Chain A
């Protein structure tokens, strides 16, 4: 290194110039700031330009010139690597076939469009209407004419192919959507023993077919709306015209139309939008993966909402009574089904109350126990390091973490986790004396009771309610449990699902007629009435049934 070349800045710049250096630096900073602002502006401009060709709700039409149209489309689909363009001659004119790779049945396009067009090279048709050309030369099974660019683009995004022909403002949309999808499989979350085993998949069309195939009723109506400014997700509203109350259908459509969001990913997104409460503890909308549940619901006068890209259909309204019903209940001997139903109701109480009752009896009101049991528990707890409430909290939290872990884990790990959880929590914690064995029994009983619910979301709500009751119980004892019960009951009675009370059909006096399918289940022959709570237009299932008698 040559040290002699290195000089102090002050040596090359006289001291008098420091002020000018400072002002230069200031100018430079201002310039940098301005260039950043310009950069932002340019980006804004670019994004506006991008949006220009098809602003969401404006009417823009195709041009007559193919070159122009191609330019417009290439701007819209800029940076879309999966877009395929194919130019060909059609009846003496240049034509353009546009589709998205993977969403479209290319074999069908080859067979019905390209092959036909190329085989009829000489045929020149000077028709004014594009439909004539299509009908004379091409052989697609179904097509529509589009003149608006936005509509055509949406069709392309749905997987259909677009044919633009030089000299025509009209374009042709060929029904050719075919894409990778899951087959019709058994529902993953709602397993049943006896009943249909097909479940919804992620394709709206297939899901509607699954419903249609179950009934040949033309009164079953399907209305499709697109929701989400960006995702434009198709959502079908399905109902039986002469059963569902018209204001219910209107209400559903109105609420769907009011959804203001850019994308829908889960059907639960819709559920949250159309539920009136922002903090619902229990679901007021039924979710199901089973087409038979949807059909049964439709014939109770309810309305189903099916979203594309999810196997979870929503049914409204929803009540506690319906939450307690499982498909299997209807495929069992009536007395057995009734007993199972009652056990399920009992399981609700166990899920919510068992730990709270344990805490309050052990630490507030041991006088309620039979003497022998009181002595037994006291001896179990003789050297317990924690108060009952803390002990119960530890166990409940461990249980919840464990359940969450099992749900999240890959299938192969679940067995390992079960062994670890079962051994560690069930045996070792109790042996170490951290919690007493009776509490382990109580907590596991609670967990098992919560698994007996037919609706996962309802069970989750119960689990949270259990926490609340446990907190009140550990502060106020049995008095608190009663207070908590009152609050919970008032809350549940105040819940509404599309105008129907959540507890209606079970606790509501004017729908007591629904007892036939509530705590017990009568045979389908003896239960000719649709659930009163849903207020179907036709109350009876059996034709000519009036006042408990069947007349001709």
Chain B
């Protein structure tokens, strides 16, 4: 063996021997040896004060229970997950304390949802609560956030009827926002909320509540910084979605013929909305133009035959839809104004279109905002009537 070959032989041997010693890389942990946390619930204790003068955290984690072997079918009744919880001042510390209850290391890689009680946000502030999750390298920014008025632990113990893990249930529940315009879900994950926090905007978090032992999304809570501003109900979320988008394939049901108690519904296929600020000397107003195209989705009319081939009938139906949408938008706007949140981003629009006016009004914006008029014009078109004789 000449010198060159010897050199390579030695090098390769050295590398191979060295590699034997680094087999214990920190994240070398087999999949089945990791305990996947599906949901984290953050609450504050009812009584007792921590060292900082505020009540201590009560953190619960929902851990996935692995079925023992794929060949043995798990019974449907058996829970997919179990809950561990601890109490303390630091969320990270509590998570580490939970290791005394778990035979496997806890991993946040597949965390699906974080539920934070309204009380915890009010006592601790949203940013400190989320700090650990933003810092930690394992958590993804697509994790869904929820808030609730109830105690958090019950949501983690909830066993979905579908048999899936609770965290996956929550994750997929909020994704239904594309079908149901009353669910606030678009752009409300950990990353986006973090962005809103950083830009000091109002934060909008979907609220869940436990009703008749079932999890339900009930509107959304609005926070600014650490303060709770108020609550949007489902109807106002729908109203706001007409402006910010996300109502494609929504159903709008209106009494038809107008004034009766029979119902006809429109299924929206396309919606274009345009919110524009206008400044006329000292007068500021906003206009909102909405264009909607859709089909007749349902007709709950038995008493009289309505001939939808008659264009007058269609025009009347479109008129009823326009009025309903206008009402809905104004309802949402009023609720938004009542709690003092500017989620429709009037301020951004004004700043973008009229920077000088914005500079003048910036200081007293919160007083002016509720008084700015919004003129709404809705134009809806029914494309297909879907009638058969």
Cα–Cα, bound, A372→B165 (Å): 10
Q: Is the CB of B28 within 8 A of A364?
A: yes
Cα–Cα, bound, A365→B29 (Å): 9
Cα–Cα, bound, A205→B68 (Å): 68
- Which of A25-33, A183-191, A312-320, A377-385 forms part of the interface with chain B? A377-385
* A415 is an interface residue with CB less than 8 A from chain B: no
Given known A-B contacts A374-B36, A378-B36, A379-B70, A367 and B109 have beta carbons under 8 A apart: yes
Q: Is the CB of B66 within 8 A of A382?
A: yes
Residues of A within 8 A of B112 (CB): 371
Cα–Cα, bound, A321→B277 (Å): 61
A residues 74-111 near B (Cβ < 8 Å) are: none
Question: What 1/0 mask marks residues of chain B from 12 to 55 whose CB sits below 8 Å from any chain A CB?
Answer: 00000001101101011111101010000000000000000000
Q: State the Cβ distance, B140 to closest chain A Cβ, in Å.
A: 8
* A433 is an interface residue with CB less than 8 A from chain B: yes
Q: Is the CB of B138 within 8 A of A364?
A: no
Q: Is the CB of A364 within 8 A of B27?
A: yes
* CB nearest to B168 among chain A residues: A371
Q: Is the CB of B67 within 8 A of A382?
A: yes
Selected from A365, A378, A388, the residue in CB contact (under 8 A) with B66 is A378
* CB nearest to A365 among chain B residues: B27
Cα–Cα, bound, A375→B66 (Å): 8
Residues of A within 8 A of B20 (CB): 475
Q: Is the CB of A381 within 8 A of B31?
A: yes
* CB nearest to A362 among chain B residues: B31
Q: Is the CB of A366 within 8 A of B25?
A: no
Q: State the Cβ distance, A389 to closest chain B Cβ, in Å.
A: 9
Q: Is the CB of A367 within 8 A of B29?
A: no
Q: Is the CB of B30 within 8 A of A388?
A: yes
Cα–Cα, bound, A366→B110 (Å): 9
Cα–Cα, bound, A362→B138 (Å): 15
* A311 is an interface residue with CB less than 8 A from chain B: no
How many chain A residues touch B (Cβ–Cβ < 8 Å)?
31
Cα–Cα, bound, A382→B74 (Å): 13
Q: Is the CB of A477 within 8 A of B27?
A: yes
Cα–Cα, bound, A433→B29 (Å): 20
Q: Is the CB of B25 within 8 A of A476?
A: yes
Residues of B within 8 A of A444 (CB): none
Residues of A within 8 A of B67 (CB): 379, 382
A residues 342-395 near B (Cβ < 8 Å) are: 362-367, 371-372, 374-384, 387-388
Q: Is the CB of B30 within 8 A of A363?
A: yes
Q: State the Cβ distance, B106 to closest chain A Cβ, in Å.
A: 13
* B64 is an interface residue with CB less than 8 A from chain A: yes
Residues of B within 8 A of A367 (CB): 107, 109-110, 138, 140
* B259 is an interface residue with CB less than 8 A from chain A: no
Q: Is the CB of B27 within 8 A of A378?
A: no
* CB nearest to A475 among chain B residues: B19
Given known A-B contacts A374-B31, A374-B36, A383 and B68 have beta carbons under 8 A apart: yes
Cα–Cα, bound, A257→B12 (Å): 34
* B69 is an interface residue with CB less than 8 A from chain A: yes
Q: Is the CB of A363 within 8 A of B31?
A: yes
Q: Is the CB of B27 within 8 A of A371?
A: no
Q: Is the CB of A387 within 8 A of B30?
A: yes
Q: State the Cβ distance, B50 to closest chain A Cβ, in Å.
A: 32
Q: Is the CB of B30 within 8 A of A381?
A: yes
A residues 427-450 near B (Cβ < 8 Å) are: 431, 433, 436-437
Q: State the Cβ distance, A259 to closest chain B Cβ, in Å.
A: 22
Cα–Cα, bound, A371→B140 (Å): 12
Most buried by B among A380, A388, A472: A380
B residues 93-145 near A (Cβ < 8 Å) are: 107, 109-110, 112, 138, 140
Q: Is the CB of B64 within 8 A of A363?
A: no
Cα–Cα, bound, A380→B29 (Å): 16
Cα–Cα, bound, A16→B96 (Å): 97
Cα–Cα, bound, A374→B168 (Å): 13
Residues of B within 8 A of A388 (CB): 30-31
Cα–Cα, bound, A240→B119 (Å): 87
Question: What 1/0 mask marks residues of chain A from 160 to 196 whose CB sits below 8 Å from any chain B CB?
Answer: 0000000000000000000000000000000000000
Cα–Cα, bound, A431→B72 (Å): 12
Pull 24 A–B residue pairs with CB atoms less than 8 Å apart, ordered by A.
Answer: A363-B29, A365-B27, A366-B31, A366-B34, A367-B138, A374-B110, A375-B36, A377-B31, A378-B34, A378-B36, A378-B66, A379-B66, A379-B69, A382-B32, A382-B66, A382-B67, A382-B69, A383-B69, A388-B30, A388-B31, A475-B22, A476-B25, A477-B25, A477-B28
A contact set with B: CB distance below 8 Å:
362-367, 371-372, 374-384, 387-388, 431, 433, 436-437, 471-472, 474-477
B contact set with A: CB distance below 8 Å:
19-20, 22-23, 25, 27-32, 34, 36, 64, 66-71, 107, 109-110, 112, 138, 140, 165, 168
Counting from the closest, the 3 A-B pairs by CB-CB distance are: A367-B109, A381-B32, A366-B31
18 new A-B contacts at CB < 8 Å, known A362-B31, A366-B34: A363-B31, A366-B31, A366-B109, A367-B107, A371-B110, A371-B112, A374-B110, A375-B64, A375-B165, A378-B36, A378-B66, A379-B66, A379-B69, A382-B67, A382-B68, A388-B30, A437-B70, A477-B28
